[in-house]
Structure 1
Amino acid sequence: MCGICGTAGFADTELLNRMVRLMAHRGPDDRGVFVTSDRMFGLGNCRLSIIDLSSAGHMPMRNEDETVWITYNGEIYNFHSIRTELQKLGHSFRSQADTEVLIHGYEEWGVRLLERLNGMFGLALVDLRKKPARLLLARDRFGIKPVYYTLAGDRLVYASEIKAILLAPGIARDVDLNALHRYLAFLWVPGPETLFKGIYKLPPGHYLEWSQREYSLHCYWNLRFPPASANGKRAERDLSVELLEILRRAVKRHLISDVPVGVFLSGGLDSSTILALAAELTNEPVKSYTITYRPEDGFLEQSDADRVFARLAARRLGANHHEIEVNPDIVDLLPKVVWHLDEPVADPAAISTYLICREGRPEVKVLLSGQGADEVFAGYRLHWTHRLASILERIPRPLRQAFARFPLGAMPGISRWLPGVRPGLILAVHRYWDKLLAGVDIDPERRYIFYRSYYTDDQEFAMYTPQLRQALPGALAGDRHLAYFRDVPDANFLDRMLYVDVKTFLTELNLTYCDKLSSAASVEVRVPFLDSEVVDFMSRMPPQMKLHGLKSKYIFRRAVEGVVPPEIVQRRKAAFGAPIRSWLRRDLHAMVDDLLSERTLRQRGYFEPAVVRSMVEQDRRGEGDHTMRLWALLTLELWHKTFIDSARGSLEAAPCSASVF
């Protein structure tokens, strides 16, 4: 893991050094910059040494005659086989780093190299052999590693983090209001836009070429599924056996490292599978890490069973287990998290990711994560909720509405009076059924968007000030999702949902916060379930092998039977989050009242204060669960103060709470 940055059309050594220093948390082991002799290109890198810890892995790295230069962030898991192939073709290597494989691979195959890579990466490569010279920016298939860019006239500026781009002269800090509309709906901004107007994410599976002050964007890979009419012929047993062997190979590749590697362990199916396979492949007990919060903090959440199942998995699989109970000072921590995220991502799992990486960093530089499994194997509740909604369509609407009013409507009020039942679980059941019933009559594609969102467009417009409504005529938060559905019109609807998951929820939410907050602790997180071989195999898997009736991850569960403890194979999915309901009502009470006050909201000019205050009061009285909406508004205001209101120089240090509000 590293941080990359650079410019095209101009080069300023001091600017590059400032950009690199700003991202030093991404790579504290080494740093460097390079500027071409004509000052048309500049490259910067801060390095977290994982493969080849020697100075031979220094970046920016060059080829033998200094005509190809690269700055790179990530890991290529098949670099050994590519290196062997290149050596047979006559290439010589000075290091053991996968970075050098990219240089020689580019010399041999050009941009076709990207199709061969199994890994995670964001890279910038300057080719001085071509006349005129050109810059290549590229991002891995799923966007595990970030690349942001902007054009300032005929100049290009790019980096692993937006805050580094903002250091460049002439970069405006304006809010993209359409992106704001989408952020409120989903808690994150669908790409390629960011919340900064004019700053973009390089789409996953794409590369950008810049030459002679012009650029073009190209797709080198896309996820594909067979048509819905296709019929898989292979036996279930054969598929599960082959899948297990593919998973073993994927985990083995992801264990390649010259530094210690550990495993995130939630006690769920995904992380426990990685631990089980890693334990098979290593000679020493695998270090596993579980983060927990105090029981009293999680009272309003649906479950705190992670510690129980994580202990079970670690004990059965012989792990060197670390259970970390935390009670963070969230008032001080939240502004820091927002600074590291660059743009608001209102998922509390970001905080848990940072805390577990921070606690694990003294012992390991690399952690394996189960992220991506839900998108690859069909593990989200949303996937079978669609089927359940299709069944409920057959029930007359008046009966459904009566159920929504009572007993469903009475659940929040009685939750505290049910002995032995967590109030958080009752609230979660109420949220689920309320949302499920509200979406039954919507067409499937828009139903998917409705279940993924926290507001409808109409609800957002009701919260906006007249000025913001006027600036967003006809805005549709889900327009990107609908476009992605159109990309795969012939696939089974489950596969179509998985496609949209990969393009949106996986890349823009889960992988984004995971990269930013693990990097904040100088830890590299790897995701074996997004290994190319795993994804390619599962993309051909018949849909009924992924979702069997209402049983999620069906073939995955069958594959790991006998490898993972049976209690975990059958465990229901539990979210990886944080006790934000307790935080909002207790620790962050004063911050909410300040940053979401009538005075602050009127000065900002986006939202009607009365609407926001009503949500705050309903949430505090237990009359409605607006937790995620309020977390999104709080995160947005902190982001605005940090990146839009602050002076340029203030970006060069992570804020403490006192300097933010």
Structure 2
Amino acid sequence: MCGICGIYLHDNSSTIDGELLKSMADIIRHRGPDDEGFHFDRNLALGMRRLSIIDLARGKQPIYNEDETIVTVFNGEVYNYLELREQLQKRGHTFTTASDTEVIVHLYEDMGEECVHQLRGMFAFAVWDKRHRRLFIARDRLGIKPLYYHTVIGKQLVFGSEIKSILRHPKVKASLDLDALNNFLSLKYVPAPQTMFEGIKSLPPGHTLSCDSHGINIRQYWDLSFTNNDHPRQREEVYAEQLEELLRESIKLRLRSDVPLGAFLSGGIDSSTIVALMSQIMDKPVKTFSVGFKQENGITDELPYASLIAQQYKTDHHEIIITARDFVDMAEKVIWHLDQPIADQATVATYMVSKLASQHVKMVLTGEGGDELFAGYARYSGERLSPLFRLIPKSIKSLAQMVNNRTTGLRRQRIALNALCQVDEAQRFATWFPLFNHDSKQALLTPDLQNKFNGIAGNQAFAQQLARTDATEPLNRMLYVDTKLWLPDYLLLRADKLSMAASLEARIPILDHKLVEFAASLPPNLKLKNLTRKYLLKKSGRKLLPKIIIDRKKKGFPIPIYKWMENEARPLIYDTLSPAAINKRGLFNYVYVEKLIKEFESGTTEHYHHLWGLISLELWHRCFLDSQ
């Protein structure tokens, strides 16, 4: 695991300032505190920071092929590197290290840009082909590892694992992308290829970028297909066994490491299943790490469930309790590490449990992806019900919607009803993700932005993804959209940036692309059976986990943020959302912001979502725009 960065000049006669590249690498030192490395070749420069996981002594980067005409810097892990290495050696390639990175240069020698199809893992890497003076960049299929880039007036390409690295370049100015702001206010996050920074793009998952004197070319090399289901229909028990075997294999591959490792354990079905299988595979206790939250009446969260699994499998278990003070103190630091605001209250918890784990191990397995592959969210049940809801006469639905929108409290129920009322598929999907709905967003914005942001943001991103999928069944279409948007641009962004902030590698076995493709090939009723979500994953886990873990209601991170914002975190509201702060940005109508604050103070607890989104945005401005 590393952080990478680089600069390519379209003018072959120009050279690159070595101090600039070092500065770009230094600011992401947290991604790789163990080592640094650089490569310069006139108009091309590559840099990296290394977190040593495999071949600690010899796996330094950049890594070269035999005649040093191919060089790479690499962030991530290639889990099938031993198998690839054996094949490459049989074809005559000579290896000088035992690292997974070295297979990339030799694969590229043999296959060029098609080498990405051979890689099983998480990655964002850059290859410099000196023979053709071409830069080749690739990002893994699901978007576990990030990669950002910026073109400087068509004269150069600047890229990095984190946006803050790109911002070190003197020709790159930090400025707000208003279209991205529009998306953020609707969706809670910014969908790729946009970022919150004008002119800085995120390379989408499953894409490559090549750059030479002729220009830049971006192409997609992988997509999730729901039509590759030519296997014969099996009994449920057979599918469950296949799922367990694929997950077991994925975990075994991700246990390849030369450093101590462990797992995050929330007490949910995904992380609990991973810990159970790790315990069966490993010959020593799994080190597990959990987070809880301190409230006035004690601790009410997921820790008892995590402890139950830890006791059952005799793990070496560690817990951390987060207070409101931690939440306030860490809020701005977390936004800096994320590069972009996401309206997510779990960010501080993710960062602090990563810090805890980094005191004991250098790598953890985590449970992201189970909900998006196997239909774990309530919105999937809602999508199953939407055809029935559309049979209700329009007049009755309109009345229900009107009453619904004037009701305070019951936020999730109101979101569900609004979503079910939508006929348009993209609109319906987007309605499940509101930070601000259309009316509240219009009230929030200044008149100029009201005119610019006409319509609800998320629709376009959702419509684009729906147009690309080969899925025909409504559930699979929704799973595709979540796999392309919510998963990489919200969940995986959080997982990567906040584990790397603690110099900790996070590996995600559920998102092995072979397992992802298997899940896509399953009949929809094995993911959502009647209204039972994650049906097959639960069936597979019943012989591993207690019934209470399998059958309990999904909670996520049960953070008591609204209580904290009523009390210890209230000064954060007054600081970040003061009249001076709001007016300085020139984006929002302070009268409406003040209304949200007053209603929150009078008991409208749902406004903590709105307020935290606005607080995150203001902290982002302070971290990145004010600093320039």
TM-score (norm 2): 0.95
Residue identity in the other structure for 1:225: F
Partner of 1:633: 614
1:587: how far off? 2.4
Match of 2:126 among 124, 132, 148: 124
Alpha-carbon distance in 1 for matches of 2:36, 2:394: 63
Partner of 1:274: 274
Partner of 2:12: none
Checking the alignment, whether the CA contact within 8 Å between 1:298 and 1:579 is kept in structure 2 is: no
Match of 1:316 among 303, 312, 315: 312
- Identical-residue share of aligned pairs (%): 39
Alpha-carbon distance in 1 for matches of 2:182, 2:521: 35
Residue identity in the other structure for 1:117: L
Partner of 1:210: 211
Partner of 2:193: 192
Checking the alignment, whether the CA contact within 8 Å between 2:225 and 2:471 is kept in structure 1 is: no
Alpha-carbon distance in 1 for matches of 2:358, 2:470: 45
* Most deviating of 103-112 and 464-473: 464-473
Deviations 1:86-109 (A, max 9, x none): 111111111110000111111111
Checking the alignment, whether the CA contact within 8 Å between 1:11 and 1:40 is kept in structure 2 is: yes
* Most deviating of 449-458 and 41-50: 449-458
Checking the alignment, whether the CA contact within 8 Å between 2:404 and 2:417 is kept in structure 1 is: no
Match of 1:573 among 545, 554, 559: 554
1:196: how far off? 0.5
Checking the alignment, whether the CA contact within 8 Å between 1:269 and 1:568 is kept in structure 2 is: yes
Matched, 1:377 2:374: yes
Alpha-carbon distance in 1 for matches of 2:92, 2:374: 41
Partner of 2:135: 135
Helix, strand or coil: the match of 1:606?
coil
Helix, strand or coil: the match of 2:553?
coil
Residue identity in the other structure for 1:276: A
Partner of 1:74: 76
Helix, strand or coil: the match of 2:295?
coil
Change (3 A) 1:207 1:408: closer
Residue identity in the other structure for 1:182: N
1:57: how far off? 0.8
1:403: how far off? 7.5
1:642: how far off? 1.5
Matched, 1:617 2:620: no
Change (3 A) 1:298 1:467: farther
Matched, 1:437 2:417: yes
Match of 2:26 among 8, 15, 21: 21
Partner of 1:84: 86
Helix, strand or coil: the match of 2:303?
helix
Q: Counterparts of 1:258-657 in structure 2 under 5 Å?
A: 258-296=258-296, 304-327=300-323, 328-395=325-392, 430-443=410-423, 444-473=425-454, 476-488=457-469, 490-576=471-557, 578-647=559-628
Checking the alignment, whether the CA contact within 8 Å between 1:146 and 1:512 is kept in structure 2 is: yes
Deviations 1:344-400 (A, max 9, x none): 112122211100010111111111110011111111111112223443444567777
Helix, strand or coil: the match of 2:462?
helix
Change (3 A) 1:407 1:136: closer
1:112: how far off? 1.1
Checking the alignment, whether the CA contact within 8 Å between 2:343 and 2:613 is kept in structure 1 is: yes
Residue identity in the other structure for 1:239: Y
- Unaligned 5+ segments in structure 2 are 10-14
Change (3 A) 1:488 1:100: same
Alpha-carbon distance in 2 for matches of 1:241, 1:164: 45
1:594: how far off? 2.3
Checking the alignment, whether the CA contact within 8 Å between 1:269 and 1:571 is kept in structure 2 is: no
Residue identity in the other structure for 1:242: Q
Checking the alignment, whether the CA contact within 8 Å between 1:290 and 1:324 is kept in structure 2 is: yes
Alpha-carbon distance in 1 for matches of 2:618, 2:187: 16
* Most deviating of 510-519 and 567-576: 567-576
Alpha-carbon distance in 1 for matches of 2:509, 2:115: 21
Checking the alignment, whether the CA contact within 8 Å between 2:38 and 2:48 is kept in structure 1 is: yes
Partner of 2:17: 12
Alpha-carbon distance in 1 for matches of 2:616, 2:297: 20
Alpha-carbon distance in 1 for matches of 2:559, 2:24: 32
Residue identity in the other structure for 2:599: Q
Helix, strand or coil: the match of 1:263?
strand
* Most deviating of 585-594 and 527-536: 585-594
Helix, strand or coil: the match of 2:145?
coil
Deviations 1:556-607 (A, max 9, x none): 1111221122221112211125332123222221221122122221221111
Q: Counterparts of 1:40-51 in structure 2 under 5 Å?
A: 40-51=43-54
1:462: how far off? 2.4
Alpha-carbon distance in 1 for matches of 2:215, 2:393: 58
Alpha-carbon distance in 2 for matches of 1:620, 1:490: 45
Q: Counterparts of 1:44-59 in structure 2 under 5 Å?
A: 44-54=47-57, 56-59=58-61
Checking the alignment, whether the CA contact within 8 Å between 2:21 and 2:47 is kept in structure 1 is: yes
Alpha-carbon distance in 2 for matches of 1:74, 1:218: 21
Match of 1:95 among 78, 82, 97: 97
Checking the alignment, whether the CA contact within 8 Å between 2:573 and 2:615 is kept in structure 1 is: yes
Change (3 A) 1:71 1:297: farther
Change (3 A) 1:462 1:489: farther
TM-score (norm 1): 0.90
Alpha-carbon distance in 2 for matches of 1:271, 1:108: 38
Checking the alignment, whether the CA contact within 8 Å between 2:363 and 2:505 is kept in structure 1 is: yes
Checking the alignment, whether the CA contact within 8 Å between 1:227 and 1:492 is kept in structure 2 is: no
Checking the alignment, whether the CA contact within 8 Å between 1:76 and 1:98 is kept in structure 2 is: yes
Helix, strand or coil: the match of 1:126?
strand
Alpha-carbon distance in 2 for matches of 1:628, 1:576: 14
Alpha-carbon distance in 2 for matches of 1:591, 1:267: 31
Q: Counterparts of 1:135-174 in structure 2 under 5 Å?
A: 135-153=135-153, 154-174=155-175
Residue identity in the other structure for 1:482: A
1:329: how far off? 2.9
Deviations 1:524-582 (A, max 9, x none): 11110001221121111111111101001111111122112222111221112533212
Change (3 A) 1:624 1:355: closer
1:318: how far off? 1.8
Residue identity in the other structure for 1:284: K
Helix, strand or coil: the match of 2:342?
coil
1:314: how far off? 1.0
Deviations 1:149-171 (A, max 9, x none): 00002100000011110111211
Alpha-carbon distance in 2 for matches of 1:248, 1:548: 24
Checking the alignment, whether the CA contact within 8 Å between 1:226 and 1:491 is kept in structure 2 is: no
Alpha-carbon distance in 2 for matches of 1:297, 1:628: 23
Alpha-carbon distance in 2 for matches of 1:378, 1:61: 41
Residue identity in the other structure for 1:25: H
Checking the alignment, whether the CA contact within 8 Å between 1:227 and 1:491 is kept in structure 2 is: no
Checking the alignment, whether the CA contact within 8 Å between 2:476 and 2:524 is kept in structure 1 is: yes
Partner of 1:176: 177
* Most deviating of 86-95 and 567-576: 567-576
1:438: how far off? 2.3
Checking the alignment, whether the CA contact within 8 Å between 1:366 and 1:525 is kept in structure 2 is: yes
1:442: how far off? 0.6
Change (3 A) 1:273 1:470: same
Checking the alignment, whether the CA contact within 8 Å between 1:263 and 1:367 is kept in structure 2 is: yes
Residue identity in the other structure for 1:434: R
Matched, 1:240 2:245: no
Alpha-carbon distance in 1 for matches of 2:246, 2:76: 22
Partner of 2:62: 60
Change (3 A) 1:59 1:405: same
1:519: how far off? 0.6
Alpha-carbon distance in 1 for matches of 2:402, 2:459: 28
Query: What root-mean-square deviation, in Å, do the aligned CA atoms of Structure 1 and Structure 2 show?
Result: 2.2
Checking the alignment, whether the CA contact within 8 Å between 1:298 and 1:582 is kept in structure 2 is: no
* Most deviating of 362-371 and 342-351: 342-351
Alpha-carbon distance in 2 for matches of 1:616, 1:232: 57
